Structure 1
């Protein structure tokens, strides 16, 4: 993994000179050689190459030069003995040494040694609301001292004295394999603050526990890395983490071992969160009021995955390797949740298989469910909360344990964990039963009495891959399959017909059979199906549309024949998944038939009127 990051950093020219790192300067203290005028210039958000003492700061009395926190550069008060704090004293002494190489720094030294000038600097910093923890640097005669080549050359030689203090026997670097002096501590990596990291960065390699000692070696001697090599790894991680998306509380980092066209990056299908993180199901919606630019953006977003998944072969990419890191921050350390690498050709085949397994009819039965990004799909594995407006914030706590396994299953074509089916079933059941409260009755419709479509996709993929692993016949298709020999599946189909019959006969009923019987039917179908059958006879007799009533009778007969004579008494996790999937697909089939019947009736009426 370290070597792959190192190669990426070298290939992208991200290497920084040893002893330097990119930093953001909050404010510049602007001074002049001609007078004592002091002003403050706010820095921009761009990273600037700065001297960095890094792991050479042995003890608590050293700090960086030229760029440091305000509390160190401009301390508010001296210590009890009248001296500056240790780090502030080190900063001033080092700045005085640097002024021998760069005369402009003498202006900075004189300002820090003059009480009147220091007071002016404090007042200006307070006026500009620069906090003690904000980083500050200097400008002299209108130019930043960080741009001075003289300062950079001085620092390269000056820092060698600290290397002598901590000089260790040379060892083979784990990254490059070359003999070099090992770092005692590594520079923190930036970019993990949103996933539990520290604002000042997190350590990738650290040895602070006795358990990390082996072969009588202590701390970094167990895993020696050179400063030059690790600076490249850090630069690569800093760069990759900038735009890395967040999935269930982890940063999803990926790269390839050589440059590929952006439109051929298969991970765009998984990690581009976009606006597809809404909790609503991706069904067809009217777009009359949609702004033109929004519609165009959505069309471009839809086309991007299609271009990646298209059958256009790219043989020159088949030998490309990909790398994936899923990272989070814990106690100022980087936690590597998962690391994977593989071949581009296998990745393309497995992602195409993923989308093929996901294919499932939509609620209306007129086509398949529109594809959404992975983050939006993961929402449907959370605990269902009717009034939850920020489901993404719950992902780190509820899904961090299974998300890496899901990612691996997608990329390798493997099976999903059983927890996926369990969570999807819980989501379906909770969402269906949420329609039982009075506030939902005013908006009850066909969709509210059907299982959640994205949760059903999870169940379909889980069942398909479980069957493949067990070398069983794979006969789960997009639409309802009367030839599928699974009693639990057809029990779900029967309940969907019973629900449609009641909804047609009694559209204004407060609590339907879904709210009353779904929870028991999916666990003990033999107990519930008999009761539902008796109710359906009453509802069919009450139905005014005799053609529709006859059609429902035909549906019941077809499913009953497919079910056979045996109705299971209880259902396990796999059978419950078949039940939910059968219920959903039969509901979509009935919706399609109803729409076709209405359209045919309108056509006959129009012909008769002519």
Structure 2
């Protein structure tokens, strides 16, 4: 299903003229041009690199050009057409292996002769003449190469160019006759290979023995990783080798890897959360869908010129099944949409999740998630919404050396949000542990508690307790949380600047076993009230009386269950935010 969806996406891009035809890689980093004359002599070495912004500074980077399809190298010698490194195009030896460099150059020359022999093109004849006359031993001292030799041998890619006698010049990759010759050679390259029915297209075709590499996944090898591979006998069956174990045609392998590499290279279609790299795309290949989806659950709308209010309005409209205009395009809620999460695993890629649904259904799931997270926001918190990464960070000790949340948690949380399924229990466990360790109920932690119990245990009681703002009449655990917040306020007013508060000493016990903590705290509050001015004493005494009146006549509960502790913490958070809101109004 994943490969079929990516292949279909590639075909949409091809129909729209946004990618090269099979046999060509749309974007490949090239640093230098080897410009040849009609007789195959090297006329110039042209620097193709350009200045590109990187953060707050500008760096020199290779230029991305369409080049003939690249072979995947594991070991051994395998040459590329028209564009390769110095070992293949120049026969240069900088690693103490002159024999291997000679083999690389000879393999490259043989490939070009195989493709270009008989091609009636001055550029093609010049390339063949170059290979016939070039002496690899002279490369390091060649007057046109010596000055840039260090850069040339630093994994730089070179491409052939041609200059005619009248001074006109062009890259060999743009020469029509050379392109036609390469296309013909590529289309017939699998003629001698074994054929089988492709699992993707359903057609009889030559099977890809090794699939092209996937590049751009954070944490994976820089040279690329494989989504499909069989590189050990244990992975093979029925006597098949490598790609024959899951027959995918050369065309389909090229199509799906090209599509995935393009998505990974586009920051508007790709986002990293933890160790999971997320790519998403619409079936019609319209980029506005991917842009909108990543803004919906990763944030960053203002950086792309979209206000938070406009983003929220678009999400709400789509969740209700209404099309909206967004980023100069019209988003159709019925459009099929895909979300793929992948993680690095040595030389391979692990699929964390693959989701397919209508764009409107994804929007509805995200809107429901946002509604469940909605809770009173502190005045100092300027964030309109809480992203997935922010939620996952609430489970992490920010004083520890490793401040990254569990990769498994991030993947499970993403899946739950996008599918509308139950939140993972590890999310609640992580937040509960942080509250107990730090005795701090932040906005993010309170929002997680609220969302978790509303989604995983959708009872009427939870709807009454886990509200957006303070509920004046609720159940006992919620009232106890409010009471603890008031007791904490009384202590801070009576003893401003105190080092250790009742929250530091009693929060966990009050939350888990109220009967052991609250009698002591209430007695302590009476002593604190005596230190206050008369207006303050009357005000806080009234609050205590109102809250105590909502408790059962049997007294404080002996213990609270985990959901009841969540209600306690939400009550504490709501009461505390009400106190801060009133203080801000007074100021």
1:234 aligned onto 2:257:
yes
Whether contact under 8 Å (2:412, 2:424) holds in the other structure is yes
Q: Which runs of 5+ in 2 are unaligned?
A: 51-61, 164-168, 324-331
Quote the residue 2:544 is aligned against: 556
Q: 1:211 Cα deviation (Å)?
A: 4.6
Select the structure that is richer in strand: 2
1:2-53 Cα distance to aligned partner (Å, 9 max, x none): 2111111111225543433232112223344487654342345443222235
- Secondary structure of the residue aligned to 1:416 is coil
Whether contact under 8 Å (2:296, 2:366) holds in the other structure is no
Q: 1:336 Cα deviation (Å)?
A: 0.8
Map 1:520-599 → 2, pairs under 5 A: 520-544=509-533, 546-564=534-552, 565-595=554-584, 598=586
Quote the residue 1:89 is aligned against: 106
Q: 1:459 Cα deviation (Å)?
A: 1.0
- From 205, 216, 239, the equivalent of 2:228 is 205
Quote the residue 1:302 is aligned against: 308
Whether contact under 8 Å (1:17, 1:228) holds in the other structure is no
Query: Could you say if the C-alpha distance between residues 265 and 49 of structure 1 is closer, same or farther in structure 2, counting changes exceeding 3 Å?
Result: closer
Query: Could you say if the C-alpha distance between residues 110 and 77 of structure 1 is closer, same or farther in structure 2, counting changes exceeding 3 Å?
Result: farther
Q: 1:426 Cα deviation (Å)?
A: 3.1
Quote the residue 2:54 is aligned against: none
- Secondary structure of the residue aligned to 1:408 is helix
Query: Could you say if the C-alpha distance between residues 376 and 133 of structure 1 is closer, same or farther in structure 2, counting changes exceeding 3 Å?
Result: same
Query: Could you say if the C-alpha distance between residues 150 and 59 of structure 1 is closer, same or farther in structure 2, counting changes exceeding 3 Å?
Result: farther
| Aligned equivalents of 2:7, 2:100: Cα separation in 1 | 44
| Aligned equivalents of 2:70, 2:273: Cα separation in 1 | 34
| Aligned equivalents of 1:298, 1:32: Cα separation in 2 | 47
The answer to which of 356-365 and 232-241 deviates more is 356-365
| Aligned equivalents of 2:94, 2:382: Cα separation in 1 | 69
The answer to which of 422-431 and 170-179 deviates more is 422-431
1:134 aligned onto 2:156:
yes
Whether contact under 8 Å (1:416, 1:465) holds in the other structure is yes
Query: Could you say if the C-alpha distance between residues 122 and 431 of structure 1 is closer, same or farther in structure 2, counting changes exceeding 3 Å?
Result: farther
Query: Could you say if the C-alpha distance between residues 208 and 568 of structure 1 is closer, same or farther in structure 2, counting changes exceeding 3 Å?
Result: farther
- From 316, 326, 331, the equivalent of 2:346 is 331
The alignment yields a C-alpha RMSD, in angstroms, of 3.3
Whether contact under 8 Å (2:6, 2:259) holds in the other structure is yes
- From 288, 300, 306, the equivalent of 1:274 is 300
- Secondary structure of the residue aligned to 1:267 is helix
Q: 1:327 Cα deviation (Å)?
A: 1.0
TM-score by length of 2: 0.83
TM-score by length of 1: 0.80
Quote the residue 1:455 is aligned against: 445
Query: Could you say if the C-alpha distance between residues 200 and 297 of structure 1 is closer, same or farther in structure 2, counting changes exceeding 3 Å?
Result: closer
Whether contact under 8 Å (1:78, 1:85) holds in the other structure is no
Q: 1:179 Cα deviation (Å)?
A: 1.9
1:235-262 Cα distance to aligned partner (Å, 9 max, x none): 2111211211111111111112235683
Quote the residue 2:23 is aligned against: 19
Query: Could you say if the C-alpha distance between residues 584 and 369 of structure 1 is closer, same or farther in structure 2, counting changes exceeding 3 Å?
Result: farther
| Aligned equivalents of 2:12, 2:456: Cα separation in 1 | 41
1:28 aligned onto 2:36:
no
| Aligned equivalents of 1:176, 1:98: Cα separation in 2 | 28
| Aligned equivalents of 1:550, 1:30: Cα separation in 2 | 90
Quote the residue 2:55 is aligned against: none
Q: Which runs of 5+ in 1 are unaligned?
A: 276-295, 433-449, 600-610
1:502-556 Cα distance to aligned partner (Å, 9 max, x none): 1111112122222222233333332222221121111111112x22322222222
Whether contact under 8 Å (1:252, 1:271) holds in the other structure is no
1:557-593 Cα distance to aligned partner (Å, 9 max, x none): 2322333234333444333322221111111123334
Q: 1:456 Cα deviation (Å)?
A: 1.0
- From 391, 400, 404, the equivalent of 1:377 is 391
Provide the aligned length of Structure 1 versus Structure 2: 544
